[in-house]
Amino acid sequence: MSQKEAFDQFLKSLDEAVKEAKRAIKLPLIPDQKTGRLLWISNRELRLRYAISVDSNKKFYEALLDGKLLATKCPTCGALYFPPQDYCNRCKKQGLQWVELSGEGELLSYTKVVVKPYSFSHLEDYIVGIAKLKEGINILAWVSEKDVSKLKRGMKVNVRVKEREEEGYLVYEIVPAQD
């Protein structure tokens, strides 16, 4: 059973339990399966979409439009941060500098995702990996290659900005280097 089917089945059984409760006690109250505590099941479905403030990382998003990948660097100790943050964990200081990353590195590890999160369940199986850039930063991202047998740990890769068709916006992904 796919994750979506399992989720749909769960919703269906929940609907039935609520219907039964309404019939029996005139309230949408059912006990929680694990704890036995009473739950109120609302009729309304909530659709959740995030709006997250990224104002302090504006430069990072502007650079993506130019196909560039930026990190932040601590002017005191030289620590690099990706995804960028304006705070050095080591020095406990704010006010980091922006630096462009080469995107060049090697594939540290990868895996094929077969059981997907619910929001990705409509997608084909995909590969995610970790690239270790020559600057010393590890980047977790999707891998452009669909055939897992063509990947090898330690192979040369580039982290590139590209528009993802599924979402229609820019992301960065790991691309095996051509040689």
Positive or negative: CA dihedral 86, 89, 92, 97: negative
Residue 74 within binding range of Zn ion, rule CB under 5 A:
yes
> How near is the Cβ of 92 to Zn ion at its closest, in Å?
8
Residue 90 within binding range of Zn ion, rule CB under 5 A:
yes
DSSP assignment of 14-52 equals HHHHHHHHHHHHSS-EEE-TTT--EEE--SS--------
Alpha-carbon span 115 to 110, nearest angstrom: 15
Residue 91 within binding range of Zn ion, rule CB under 5 A:
yes
Alpha-carbon span 74 to 79, nearest angstrom: 5
Q: Which of 76, 97, 102, 111 binds Zn ion (CB under 5 A)?
A: 76
> How near is the Cβ of 95 to Zn ion at its closest, in Å?
10
Residue 77 within binding range of Zn ion, rule CB under 5 A:
yes
Residue 96 within binding range of Zn ion, rule CB under 5 A:
no
Residues that bind Zn ion (CB under 5 A): 74, 76-77, 79, 88, 90-91
